[in-house]
Chain A
Amino acid sequence: MTETTASIPAAGPQRSSLTGLVLRNPLGLLATALIIVVLLTAIFAPLIAPNDPAAVQIFKVNVAPGDGYLLGGDGSGRDIFSRLVWGARNTLIGAAIAVVVAALLGVTAGLFAGYFGKWYETASSWISDALMALPALIVLLALYQALGASIYLSMGIFGIMLSPGFYRLTRTLVKGVKNELYIDAARVSGLTDMRIIIRHILLVVRAPVVIQTSIVAGIAIVIQAGLEFLGLGDPSMPTWGGILQNGFQNMYNAPLGILWPGLAISITVASLVLLANAIRDAMQTGAAPSFRTPAIPAKYAAATPAPTPEEGVLLDIRDLVVAYPDGNGWREVVHGVTLQVRKGDVVGLVGESGSGKTQTAFAVLDLLSTGGKVLSGSITFDGEDLTKKSETEMRALRGRRIAYVPQEPMSNLDPSFRIGAQMVEPLMNVLGLSKAQAKARVLEMLARVGLPDPERTFNAYPHQVSGGMAQRVLIAGAVASSPDLLIADEPTTALDVTVQAEVLELLRELREEFHMTVVMVTHNFGVVADICDRVAVMKKGEIVEENAIGALFSNPQHPYTRMLLGSVLEDTEVRAYRAPAAKGNAA
């Protein structure tokens, strides 16, 4: 069982690079191709443009496309196509100025503000808020009066006005990662703050900043065109906005003249936005592969007849197979589990992570994660096969006859509602109680689970109670409808050990009082020894051994059970201290 030779599994679909994912998306590919075309046009403008964009041929004023002027001539007899080509260069330079200024200012300020916080963050946030409050277009119009007709200068100033977008994005991202343990580890390793920012934090903000850049570039092109359309550009320099303005003035003579610059602007901007979307989609796909439900292989199709209910058995799981879609097939996580739970028993489902213990429990609750499916086998609860029940029937069963206590009490309470409201509603829905009856029942249950002041807990928000209290609240909620079966998924794992002892004691009492059958998913053999009557040991989706706890602990049969029990660190010999012989350093 050494890990030295343990194979390192090939990583899943997220291996494929972001670039690859973007290019495999048809819209992403199209947008990238169009942007490259525009970029190449801008770079090689002198080679592509057939005519001098400023050359006036008086007999070609407003001429129709053709005859040397590919897209016709403008109101002054210049070649629209050549002007568009040169316009691409000038427009993109303007947009690039805005984007670079915005990104440099915003990302740098955001990195420092997010990482160092304190006065630095306060000051930069004030500046950012002030910039956001200024109406950009009016500022640009005012500055145009003061600074003259340089569109590049205007775009530089517009870049400053756009920088808060980058600032806020970066600051939020940095704050999210700066408390990660790997940042602490880097500090302990002696890295300077600059090095931590460059090596560890910049990597995280990279992709979102690229998305933001793409969107901001689109905005910059539109605003720039708008300014030029209002006549604020340098008339001697062909830009898309300028061409549009010229076309607009000539609209009645040559209606096609506004079409070409309009197309150039909208196609470029749309490509930038689509590219941003494609990158975002690719990032999300990287995190969670998209689900297509593959066909269920024939070997699962054979319907297993539900067993005839045996006397005294409340839950009868037979040959249960649970699987998740994986590419074009299914990946089994539970391979044919059979387990009988007798009325009144507490059965432990014990195993390590990936053993399928939680998946088995969730299959009973019909709460498998997205895509998960029971492919074959049966789950008979009190004589009825749960795998054949509809979503609605299961919902009616859950909460009334089958209850659930989760592992993380806090994440199972909605932080924006008072605890009482969250408990009253399910009782009204499931048991059909009136609001007053439900409240009375909730208060009674809160008192029953040992909360010292039920009224106060009822009116509290989840963040106002401790983890142990939250778990008592969830247990109260689960037991309030007197369920027959309680499924508890690692109910004490997130709790401190003294609180764990109290919660186990509570479960023991409630089980007697409400005649509940309990399925307890856990990895802790101490918890099993404390509360269970029987235990099933799971490994890689199978039950390797199932027995009454006395026999299982005193005489484990399966080597895996023996290995697990042997790993329990208890009553180990205490180590004797010897000072190291020499001033010993690690290797």
Chain B
Amino acid sequence: MSDEKLVDVRNVNIHFGPLHVLKDVSLDIRPGETVGLVGESGSGKTTIGRAILGICHVNSGQIDFEGKDIANVAPRERTGDAARIQAVFQDPYTSLNPSMTIEEILTEPMIARKIATAAEARDRVRDLLDQVNLPADAAHRYPREFSGGQRQRVAIARALALSPRLIVCDEPVSALDLSTQARVMDLFIEIQERTGVAYLFVSHDLAVVRHISHRVAVMRSGRIVEFGECDQVTARPEHPYTKRLLLAAPVADPVRQADRRRAFQELEAEA
């Protein structure tokens, strides 16, 4: 059972004009698993997510979802579970249409996928809001009336509307305040444990990825340089670049940070 793969990305290459942004990338996600994807800006981590979502052209390679290649299949042409792959994006301020109410935002995927009539979809809104701990009276309000954390909860509720087996989360907490971030992370974990949804969790923050992931992949310049069990990659990395990432992130403890800084400088000196 644990060898079953929900998503199997194999040797994917993507070019943006002259830029080779993904180079032979391979990655798999098991059902109910979180795979963290860490990297710095321009590493191509967001592009993998977009390729899986079907909103980015793949030049070569395969993306198997439940055994079927979905690379270059646009979301609206997907069928079965592949049609229910959802996303939560980074910026909660631009990922919700400012001129639609929360109810319109949440019912739209259900109506578009024809899994519910408009009336049935509206009935589900309360349940969706409840799942992300938002009050039911949020339905008739507009996104601008909510804080960043609350908007991100709306985005999560929208992703849940189709009962997905996979959600691509692209930096979903990096625009949030520290305490909000922690609560939204807990919500992600709680939903996964309850529903068995799998996450591809893209982030630049190793600590965030460690908190939620079962396995972690590290990207640099379009390649995956390390992919393994979460604890190993985030605590005892093998690849020099992962080590550098780990030691560069300041830890919230002056004494340990002094050690970490020293270790980072030693690593830099070696390089």
Contacts and interface: CB of A to CB of B under 8 A. Distances in A.
Interface stretch (B13-21, B28-36, B57-65): B28-36
Interface in A1-17: 1-6, 8-11, 14
Interface in B79-126: 83, 85-87, 89-91, 94-97, 99-100, 108-109, 112-113
B178, B206, B247: most-surrounded residue (chain A CB, <10 A): B178
B200 interface: no
Interface stretch (A310-318, A426-434, A521-529): A521-529
B223 interface: no
B41 interface: yes
B189 interface: yes
A188 B86 contact: yes
Interface in B11-59: 30-34, 40-41, 50, 53-55
Contacts of A512: none
B269 interface: no
Contact of A577 (B141, B164, B214): B214
A60 B207 CA distance: 93
Contacts of A298: none
B219 to A, nearest CB: 12
Contact of A352 (B177, B215, B251): B177
B230 interface: yes
A571 to B, nearest CB: 8
A267 to B, nearest CB: 34
A308 interface: no
Contacts, number: 237
B225 interface: no
A559 interface: no
A185 B143 CA distance: 15
Contacts of B133: 2-4
A526 B75 contact: no
Contacts of B250: 500-501, 504, 524, 526-527, 529-530
A576 B251 CA distance: 24
B248 A185 contact: no
Interface in B127-150: 127, 131, 133-135, 138, 141-142, 144-150
B112 A189 contact: yes
A564 B183 CA distance: 12
A572 B212 CA distance: 9
B181 interface: yes
The number of chain B residues touching the other chain, given as a range, is 35 or more
Interface string A563-587: 1111111101011111111111111
B195 A587 contact: yes
A524 B250 CA distance: 9
Given A189-B108, A497-B204, A570-B252, A587 B163 contact: yes
A549 B211 contact: no
Given A2-B183, A565-B252, A11 B142 contact: yes
A259 interface: no
A553 B253 contact: yes
B40 A497 contact: yes
A443 B248 CA distance: 28
A566 to B, nearest CB: 8
A190 B112 contact: yes
A528 B135 contact: no
Nearest to A575: B214
B108 A192 contact: no
Interface string B227-238: 000110010000
A496 B204 contact: yes
A191 interface: yes
A200 interface: yes
A577 B264 contact: no
A203 interface: yes
A497 B245 contact: yes
Contact of B90 (A181, A199, A576): A181
Nearest to A352: B177
B68 interface: no
A578 B208 contact: no
B10 interface: no
Given A496-B204, A577-B2, A572 B210 contact: yes
Contact of B112 (A195, A497, A577, A582): A195
A353 B165 CA distance: 34
A567 B263 CA distance: 25
B87 A579 contact: no
B194 A579 contact: no
Given A529-B251, A575-B230, A3 B195 contact: no
A498 interface: yes
B89 A526 contact: no
Contacts of B75: 187-190
Contact of A191 (B91, B108, B183, B206): B108
Contact of B83 (A9, A190, A525, A580): A190
B204 to A, nearest CB: 7
In the A-B complex, the 8 residue pairs with the smallest Cβ-Cβ separation, listed nearest first, are A584-B196, A526-B250, A580-B196, A525-B252, A189-B109, A586-B195, A181-B95, A580-B32
5 contacts: A182-B97, A184-B50, A352-B180, A527-B250, A530-B257
Interface of A: 1-6, 8-11, 14, 180-182, 184-192, 195, 199-200, 203-204, 352-353, 467, 496-498, 500-501, 504-505, 523-530, 549-550, 553, 563-570, 572, 574-587
Given A188-B75, A525-B178, 6 more contacts: A8-B138, A11-B142, A184-B53, A567-B181, A574-B210, A586-B164
